[in-house]
Each structure stands twice: as C-alpha cells, then as structure tokens.
Amino acid sequence: MTAGTTFSDILTALAQGWEGRRVDEPVLSVALPIKGVDPLCQVPLLAENEKFRFLWDGSPGRCLAASGRCQYLELSGPRRFELAQRFSDAALGRLVDVAPEAPSSASPRILLAFSFFEQSSERQRVKGLTPAVQAVLPRWQLSRQGHQCWLRLTAVATHEAEVRELAEEVWLMSKRLAQKSEPKERVAIHMSSGLTFPQQWQDCYRPALIRGIQLVNQGILDKLVLAVRQSIWLKAPLDPLSILSRLRVQQPGSRRFLWQRNEDEAFFGASPERLLSLRNGQLQIDALAGTATREDDGYLLLRSDKDLREHELVVSSITNQLINQGLQPRRARRPQLARHGKLLHLHTPITAVASKNPPLSLVEALHPTPAVAGFPRREAISWLRTLEPFERGNYAAPIGWIDNSGNAEFRVAIRCGNVRGNELELTAGAGLVRGSIAERELQEVGLKLAVLADQLDLQSRRSVNRVIT
C-alpha cells in the first residue's frame, strides 16, 4: 500500500491473501499509510470498541499504539518464556501479511507483559492473579516512525464474505484517524503542583530496609533491591494517557508504556532501563544501576565507591549471562551518566551479535537482572519474598514486543503504576550493597515514586483522598 492506496487496492490485496491461504481460517493482516498523526493521542479512537489497549512511546515521532486482541495467551507457572516464544512464532507464522511493502516499524507484532515472579504467592491468589505472561497479537496497530504513520488491522477470516468487511473496517478507521483532531488536553503540558507523600510508607519500609542492609553488610548477599508500594485513593478514575503525555517532556529518555487489560485496570510507566533491543541480529542492553539526584552534577556519582560497585555487579552479571548463551558481549570500559528527570544513573551500554538466539530466550536469561532483584539471583529472590509484604506483579518485569522479522524490544517495567478503578498503586525500589545508608536509600525511593506522583494535580478532580501503604 502507498500514499495513493484506494479502497479497491485494499480489497484486492485482502482477497488475494484469502485465495492464497494455507489454512481454513487464516489470519489476514493489512496495513496502509495515513497522514502523520500522534498514536498516543489516537489511542481512545483506536480502542473505542476494544477492551485491551497498549502504548509504546519513545517520542511523538517514534510511537506505537495498539488495541484489541486478535489472538492472545495468558498463563502462569514455569516455562513461560518458552511457551510465549512458541505462541509468538505460531501466531506470526500463521499470519498472511498483504502489505509486505510496509516499513519494519509497521510490522505485525506480538505484545508481551511478564510478571516479576513466574508463580504468584498465596496472598496474590487471594487478591487476584496477575498472569505470569500475557501475549497479544493486537487487532489494531497504529505506528509512527519519523513522518511515516501506518495503520494495521489483523483479524481471523472465517469465510470469504469477511474479506470485504475487513477492507471496509480498515478503510473507515484510516479516514477517522486522519480527520480526527488531536485532543488538546492530551498534548498540552500543565505542570503539576506535585504530591507530598505522608511518612507512612517510610515507616513501613524502614524495617525491611534495615534488614536488607544487614544482609549485604554481613556478606549473605552481594546486593538486594527492596521495593515499596504506595496506594493512593483518588476522587475520580485516572486516565494514564494524560500522565504519559506529560512524561514525554519530563522523561524524554525513557520509554513510556501502557498495558491496559480492561477499562478498570491499567499498568503504565516511563522506564529508563532497556532490558534488550534486538534489530537485525544486533543486541543492545542498558546496564543501569547507581543513582543520585540532579543536584549532583555527576562528579560524586562517578567517584562513589558504593555506586560503582553496585553498577559493576550489574554489568558483570549481564555479560556473564550473555556468555552463557553463547554470545560474545562488548561493553564500555567505564560507565556513563544517564539523566532521567530529577535522577542521574550510572549507565553502561552492552552489545552483542545474537542472530540465532530467540528473543525470549535472551529475556529469560537476563530477567531479573541484579538492578531490580539482587545478587546472587536465587538467594535475592527468596529474600524479596520474605521482606516485601506485597506481590510485585508486573513491577520490574519485562514488557515489550516481538515482530515477524525477529526484532524485539523489552524494557524493565520500573517508574510505574497500576490503576484499578480509583486506586493508584506506585512501586519503586532501592539497590542495597555494602555501604548503603538507610536515609539515602529512603530519599532515592521517594524520588522514584515521585516520577509518577508529581503528575497528579492536587487541585484537580483527581486529588487524593487518603494514602495507604
């Protein structure tokens, strides 16, 4: 399809795809270019009749929105990465793409969200299960790369008459997207007055924090990343898209994401940490550990023995995991500084050639990194189960996508929140190593929680009624 694509062109392409099908009920996928629109702003229209919606936002010119489920997988328990890879391969292998000329940024994708633990605890089963993996081949995709914007519809065709229905559906949606003006409230940035957290979360977090520091100082663990969860009750339901729109300006180096299973439940955030990206067999990973406020211009952070040790532990662990996968990773000799809002992090890029490695086998090998769990991995995870009084769910777990060319991108889901009705849950953690000081870690966690909390306008209808830890 090209800029001059007509309805007849779409119908002909879909009909040829139906005629060339290899199974009785093929999955047909058609894509066509539309005038440059911002996918973030068009999520409500794209998902107007769909429960599931997704956003993957790097900038206004590099963004993916999706909605609806053409095919999906949800499960818990062991072998989740292997089974998710099989589902992805099968779903994409069955798909008949009738728009092969579409750019790679508009390729059909499997969207994936994992939970931190493969098996939920008893307390999570009582509250409600977060699947260990959710994999979705979306019905609608709206992608933008630079000035190129493409709309894709993917659906199962059970009989020939549905081919014309699909052509009409994608044609009408393209016209609606091109004509609909972008809502001003979605793109305007209104600086929030900020949210000051009460001390309850610090009071509850401090005992676990002190115990964690004891574990690393005694040499029982080399590192432990303890998290805290803050529950905020709002006067009205929160629209995550409004927060994500603001974070484009305030956290430009992050990847903003939204995973919304239904109208009442959404997981969203602005992650600065790339677990991996895989493009044309080239693997890129961000090792991100060691944190300071922007009052430090980086001089102290780059000379902090505690932060440098914490960072090197993460880098070494990632490179060792890649070596175990048969790869030859390359890394920078010294960490760089990465600025994300009010925080500075030590950052080391790691690269490798990984043309023969299935994306999710690499995700499985890397998750969880010491940046979000600790080291040694097994012992650290056991202590997290003991010291954290809540289920992590999707927090600090992989979220991202795989396309039909084997390309993939996954982020570590941090700087994130869960919305369930009028309840907003924020989660953040601190990496503890030998030499960690409780007061400094408390300050760091407070700043991480504030990445999303500062977007709440206390004077608006979304103001806070009460806070529960």
Least confident of 233-237, 322-326, 419-423: 233-237
Residue 449 has pLDDT above 80, yes or no: yes
Choosing from 118, 127, 180, 273, the catalytic residue is 273
Residue 444 has pLDDT above 70, yes or no: yes
Structure tokens at 229: 């969860």
Structure tokens at 168: 């009409």
Choosing from 168, 182, 184, 223, the catalytic residue is 223
Contact criterion met (CB below 8 Å) for 94 and 389: no
| Phi, psi angle pair for 441, to nearest 5° | -65, -35
pLDDT tens sequence across 21-70: 888 888 999 999 998 899 999 999 999 989 999 999 997 679 999 999 99
Please work out, in degrees rounded to the nearest 5, the angle formed at the alpha carbon of residue 151 by the alpha carbons of 101 and 14. Answer: 60
Nearest Cα to Cα of residue 369 among 319, 331, 318: 318
Nearest Cα to Cα of residue 64 among 42, 83, 85: 42
Residue 91 has pLDDT above 80, yes or no: yes
Q: Catalytic site residue 235?
A: no
pLDDT tens sequence across 145-198: 998 899 999 999 989 889 999 999 999 999 999 886 554 444 333 333 334 444
Amino acid, res. 321: Q
Q: Catalytic site residue 273?
A: yes
Residue 377 has pLDDT above 60, yes or no: yes
The CA distances from residue 32 to 26, 56, 62, 148, 181, in Å, are: 20, 20, 17, 11, 20
Q: How much is the pLDDT for 23? A: 82
CA torsion, ordered 100, 103, 105, 108, to nearest 10 deg: 0
pLDDT tens sequence across 206-251: 999 999 999 999 999 999 999 999 988 888 888 899 999 999 988 8
pTM above 0.85, yes or no: yes
